Amino acid sequence: MSTDLKPLDAPTPRVQGSSVRMGDRVFTNLTRLAGIFVLVLMAAIGAFLVWKAIPAFQDNTGNFFTTQEWFPDSDPPFFGIAALAFGTAISSVMAMLIAVPIAIGTALFIGFYASRRISTSLGFVIDVLAAVPSIIYGLWGLQVLMLHMNGITKWLNDYLGFIPLFKNDIGIYTKSIFIASVVLAIMILPTISALSREVFLQVPRAHREASLALGATRWEMIRMAVIPFGKPGVISATMLGLGRALGETIAVALILSAAFEINWHITEPSGNTFAANIALKWNEAGPIGLSALIASGLILFIITLVVNMIARAIIAKHKEFSGANG
């Protein structure tokens, strides 16, 4: 008599490849439409800027990329973006150099050094500062900061004047790119700090406790566990701050002297940016002037896209520190 028992086949669930739940189908289509909408919107904005900028490119008698002067409504039109590009780049870079170290240090202090009461209060203040309108920063920079920056800028000229950036040959220290950069730095600092703080707090607790259990000091734990894990997020926060600095309008327009020249002495009254120039010149511009302003906006649009593409490439190189690999 055979005692072999055949195992009962477990019932296999029916896989219906073609049948998807209605909720999944609706959600998938909505997300797909959202992604397509963003791409179409970006393409539409780019196409609009190119279309409106064509008359300026056709009628301009100067070199659009190397000319410093801005006379689009003269006969013949003569203008370029060299001074605007320089002012935008130097003010944004200076703002980042000032804001990023302070923002990261503040985020680390709130997350790992401050007591609960202090971290909660300071975090709330930073979140509020990130939401303050830019015109408030501009008015504060114009009425308060500019009046109290003479001592600092004069010190820079006296002791660091051998560096062309800090040299001042005219003895006037207001309406400068340096002051505009400080205001931009104060504007973007809360944003970078708030985002970096949230990223650092996402570091797995096991990673931090393991570092401390192995004998690491708190600083060594931050350097070996927290910063590598949060590097992609910090880069994203930095690029977001840079995007705000590149496109800031009213705060810069209130402070700069709107001079169309490339002046490496950033403590002297000079400089202009793409966004500030568009805001100041729009109402008084003629047909070619409007087209020229839109052309400069097109360049700013391209610069912003390139900066974000570089940021995404940098973030992609640090995926090994994402939480998915934890």
Q: What is the identity of the amino acid at 6? A: K
**DSSP E strands, 45-127:** 70-71, 78-79
Task: Give the model's pLDDT for residue 13.
Answer: 52
Dist. CA 198–CA 190, nearest whole Å: 12
Angle between helices 177-201 and 227-247 (to 10 degrees): 150
Question: From the CB of residue 64, how many other CB atoms can be counted at a distance below 10 Å?
Answer: 17
CA 183 to chain centroid, in Å, comes to: 14
Secondary element (H or E) of residue 47: helix 22-59
Identify the pLDDT of residue 326: 44
Ranges of each domain in the chain: 84-289
pLDDT at 274: 92
Helix (H, G, I), strand (E, B) or coil at 204: coil
The identity of residue 137, as a single letter, is Y
Q: Is 261 helix (H, G, I), strand (E, B) or coil?
A: coil
How far is residue 282's CA from residue 285's CA, in Å, rounded to a whole number? 5
168 backbone dihedrals φ, ψ, rounded to 5°: -130, 115
How many Å apart are CA 326 and CA 193, to the nearest integer?
24
Residues paired with residue 42 on neighbouring β-strands, in sequence order? none
CATH superfamily for domain 84-289? MetI-like (1.10.3720.10)
What are the Cα distances from residue 91, in Å, to 33, 51, 83, 258? 38, 29, 12, 13
What residue type is 203 in one-letter code? V
Q: Are 86 and 296 in contact (CB under 8 A)?
A: no
Other C-beta atoms within 10 Å of 101: how many? 11
Give me the helix-helix angle, 287-316 and 82-108, nearest 10°: 40
Q: Which residues contact 2 (CB under 8 A, 6 or more apart)?
A: none
pLDDT at 324: 41
Q: Residue 1: its pLDDT value, please?
A: 47
Long-range pairs for 57-64: beta carbons < 8 A, 24 or more residues apart = 57/295, 59/288, 60/292, 64/295
Burial 141-157 (b: 16+ CB within 10 A, else e): bbeeebeebeeebeebb
Distance of CA 48 to the CA centre of its chain: 24
Q: What is the pLDDT along the chain (326 residues), one digit of tens a residue?
A: 445 555 555 555 544 545 668 878 888 889 999 999 999 999 999 999 999 999 999 999 989 999 999 999 888 899 999 999 999 999 999 999 999 999 999 999 998 888 888 988 998 999 888 888 889 998 998 888 888 888 888 888 888 888 888 888 887 778 889 999 999 999 999 999 999 998 898 888 888 888 888 888 888 889 888 888 888 889 889 988 998 898 888 888 888 887 888 888 888 888 889 999 998 899 888 899 999 999 999 999 999 888 888 888 877 776 654 544 44
